[in-house]
């Protein structure tokens, strides 16, 4: 069966979605999760470590899908698609950036939904922080899904 861009898009998007969910929730460490939104280099480095492991997870699962299903994916498409996804994920996971975007587009109230009931947790390494919950978590994950869509389009088209 000949490969079409539509089939490639569907497989790549499904793979990226699964890899994102697994990487964002299972691969990411508690320390990364709690520190990535902190100001300064502490937050930037935690976010960078998270995005690197997340992108590696996506790359591995894309390689598995491509091998098993005999997909032809270009290096340029993978580089550009995964690069866009990684950059957007890093930007959103700094948290203050996504909160400002939510305010700008009139979703600030929804972003704060549930924030008064968010539980504070402490990781084994002693880093304490609040987990995203309610509106912030929903806007975070839907923002990531939007860029998974764009990444899959790029990967499938190139």
pTM above 0.85, yes or no: yes
Cβ-contact 32, 50 below 8 angstroms:
yes
Residue 1's pLDDT is: 42
Using DSSP's 3-state secondary structure scheme, residue 74 falls into coil
In the numeric block, the tokens 């880093």 are attached to 127
Confidence of residue 130 (pLDDT cuts 50, 70, 90): low
Percent of the chain with pLDDT over 70: 86
Helix/strand number for the chain, H first, E second: 7, 2
The torsion angles phi and psi of 130, rounded to 5 degrees, stand at -95, 140
Residue in 50, 33, 38 with CA at minimum distance from that of residue 96: 38
pLDDT, mean of residues 12-37: 96
Question: Token digits for 68?
Answer: 């098993």
Residues in the chain: 158
pLDDT, mean of residues 105-124: 72
Inter-residue long-range contacts of 131-140, CB under 8 Å, 24+ positions, other chains counted = 131/33, 131/34, 132/95, 135/102, 135/107, 135/109, 135/110, 135/111, 136/95, 136/98, 136/99, 136/111, 136/112, 138/110, 139/98, 139/102, 139/107, 139/110, 139/111, 140/92, 140/93, 140/98
Of the two residues 25 and 120, the one the predictor is more confident about is 25
């Amino acid at each position: 069966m000949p490969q079409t861009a539509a089939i490639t898009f569907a497989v790549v998007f499904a793979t990226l979605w699964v890899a994102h969910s697994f990487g964002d929730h299972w691969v990411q460490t508690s320390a990364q999760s709690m520190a990535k939104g902190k100001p300064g280099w502490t937050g930037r480095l935690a976010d960078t470590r998270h995005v690197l492991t997340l992108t590696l997870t996506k790359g591995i699962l894309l390689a598995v899908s491509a091998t098993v299903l005999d997909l032809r994916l270009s290096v340029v498409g993978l580089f550009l698609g995964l690069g866009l996804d990684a950059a957007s994920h890093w930007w959103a996971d700094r948290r203050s950036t996504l909160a400002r975007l939510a305010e700008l587009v009139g979703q600030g109230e929804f972003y704060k939904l549930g924030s008064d009931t968010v539980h504070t947790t402490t990781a084994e390494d002693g880093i304490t922080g609040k987990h995203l919950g309610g509106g912030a978590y929903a806007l975070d994950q839907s923002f990531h899904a939007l860029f998974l869509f764009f990444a899959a389009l790029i990967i499938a088209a190139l």
